[in-house]
Amino acid sequence: MTASLQVVSPSAQVDLGEAEFAKDIWDVRNIPGAHYAAHLSNHLLNFTGVPSPFRAVTKRYIRLRLTQHSQQDCSQRLRYVQLFLEFFTARYSGKDTLQSLNRADIEAYLFAGGKKSVSCTFGELSTHSGTF
Domain spans of the chain, in order of start: 11-127
Query: Among 6-10, 37-41, 43-47, where is mean pLDDT lowest?
Result: 6-10
Closest by CA to 27, choosing from 83, 76, 75, is 75
> pLDDT for 55-89, tens place per residue?
999 999 999 999 899 999 999 999 999 999 999 99
Instruction: Say what the pLDDT of residue 6 is.
Output: 47
**In this structure, is the dihedral angle defined by the CA atoms of residues 49, 51, 52 and 55, taken in order, positive or negative?**
negative
Q: Which pTM was predicted?
A: 0.72
Instruction: Say what the pLDDT of residue 111 is.
Output: 87
pLDDT of 129 higher than 50? no
- Top pLDDT among 125 and 93 is at 93
Beta partners for residue 27, in sequence order: 44
Count the neighbouring beta carbons within 10 Å of the beta carbon of residue 37: 11
